[in-house]
Each structure stands twice: as structure tokens, then as C-alpha cells.
Amino acid sequence: MAFENILKWRERDKDQEQVFIDQAMRVPRLLLAAELTTTPDPDAPGPEIQGFSQVTGKRGDLVEFSGIGRQPGEEMRLIATAGFINLPDEIADGIHVPLLFRYRGEVIPSFALEAVLLWLRVTPAEVTIDLGSHISLPQGRKIPIRADGTLLISPNAGKKARRITLNELALATQQHDAGKKMGSEFETIRDQIVLARTPANPLSPPDIFAATLATIQTNAYVHRVSWIFDCVILLIAAVAVGKLRHISRVDLVLGAIAFTAAYCLIALAVVSRWLIWLPGCLPLGAVWLLVLISIVTPHRYHARRPKATTMPASIP
């Protein structure tokens, strides 16, 4: 069970914290969110975080931290594993989620990767990382990553997650404790990752961890089309250079607009159906560059006007 929000109670809510701790001790594997920082308290000792020992590749592209900023209380940290929910602006966005960070020179897992390791019952010593290529897990699992440690998530993966409310989960727990049969949607919950969050909280991290976990669990990794596609685009552009000068400027612009719209629709359909993303800069940039060249070239298209016919004057 993983909590995305950093659980930290106020002094007057210590009774609620104790109730949570008593219930949390019954959870076999508990993951609590924490946050790394680059400006730790100089008086506070830096905690040790277990990192990965089998790492190859350049580590300089990973975002580095030197301490822990916000984290749960000490009693909760003793019964749970910490998962770091940082989403640095320089590497993270709506489709790129960090799986790895650098902490005082060591490569450590993020919240999403830590949840997967707990789900698979895998220790960091069993993980092999090739930065810029993939993360190798036992049983032949591989997670593709970029050099900065981020994963390109599937845009539709989060829709496959089953969403339940806290009241539904509490009711299912009471039924289980009473020996009653739970609903079919809870029969396999023991083998799944339960992600707890409060979407209405503005301080809550964006709802992209569910999509990240679903992408990894279903192996729905988005990958780029082959480089042959780029070569074909460049070849078509080279062939079309000499022919575009015979087309009017208005037709060129209208054709480029239509091609841009059609290409974007096709790219969205391909990535949704086959998880293959088509490049945008090369084909669209080539089209508009050809349009610009055809417009400014001195041998551009001129519409042929009908020649005037001179009639000889009639002799009276």
C-alpha cells in the first residue's frame, strides 16, 4: 500500500496518528511518500538511503539531492519504506516521470520505482541499471529509461487502474475481518498496488504515479518509430524540392496546413493503438521549410494569363 501524500500530523492530532500506525502495522508492505531537497538542514544528520550497486552509464544527467526535506514522523518511518515523490521541472512533465535520483553520489529509486520493487519483492541488489537504456529486474522484466532516469509513460495507462474510495476500502476490510465474502473487485487486491491519495488536495502531487505504475505493470511502454522513418521523410523532402516551385504559394500553404493536421491526428492514433510515437519536428519542420523555400525562391509559380488577341481593323 502506497501513500502519495506526505503523512505528517499536527501535535493536536496525535491520537489520529496513533490509530493510523496501529492499522498500518497490519500492512505487509507499506510505502510512505517523502521529499528530497538540495538544501538540507546543516544541523540535521543526513540519513542513509540504500542505493543501487549495479549501475552503468553516465550519472551526471540524474537530478542530485543532498538531504530529505519533508517526511513522515519517526514512528511511521520505522514501519514503512520511504518513496520520494520529487518531480523536478527540468526532467519531469505530464508524460516523463523520474524513476531514479542521485543522492550524495548514490543512485536511488523514486516513489514509483520503489512501489514496483515492493510489489515484486525485489531488493536493490537484484536490480541492474543501464542509464540511458533500461532497468533490468528479475524474471526478465525491463523498464526503458532515458539518460536522466525518466520513463516515458503511456498516456492511456492510467485509465486501466481501478479507482475506489476510502469508504469502500474500509468496508471491504471490515467484511474481511468479519469473515464475510468481499466483492469481486477486492478478491485480488492482495496482489496489487493500492495507491492512496487525496485528489482534491492542491498540495498533492499530480496524478501521474498511477499511470506510471500501470505502464510498468502492463509493459505498455511507448517507443519511438524506427530511424528508417526519418530517412524516408528526408528522401521525400529532397525529391519534392524541385517540384514545389511549380505550385502556387496559396496552394502550398493550404496543403501544408492540411498535412500538419492530418499528421497530428495520425500520430495520436498510432501512439494510442500501437504505443509508437512518431516524431513531430522532422516531418512538420521539413514541410514548412520546403514551403518557405518555395515562397522565397525567385523561380516561383506565376499564373499564366491568356494572351490578348489583336483584331485587325475592318476596311469599310
What is the DSSP pairing of strand 67-68 with strand 36-37?
A: antiparallel
On the 0-12 / 13-18 / 19+ scale of CB atoms within 10 A, 115 is buried
List per-residue pLDDT tens for the chain, 316 residues long: 899 888 888 888 888 888 888 888 888 899 999 999 988 877 776 778 889 999 999 999 999 998 998 899 888 888 899 999 999 999 988 889 999 999 988 999 999 999 999 999 999 999 999 999 999 999 889 999 999 999 998 767 777 777 777 777 777 777 766 666 655 556 667 778 888 877 655 555 557 898 899 899 888 888 888 889 889 888 888 887 777 767 787 888 888 899 999 999 998 888 888 888 888 888 889 888 888 887 777 654 444 555 555 555 555 5
What's the distance, CA 109 to chain centroid? 15
Partners of 292 in beta bridges? none
Burial track 89-108 (b if 16+ CB lie within 10 A, e otherwise): eebbeeebbbbbbbbeebbb
The one-letter code for the residue type at 135 is: I
Residue pair 267/235 in contact (Cβ under 8 Å)? The answer is no
* Measured distance CA(180)–CA(187) in Å, rounded: 12
* Measured distance CA(9)–CA(13) in Å, rounded: 6
* Measured distance CA(108)–CA(129) in Å, rounded: 11
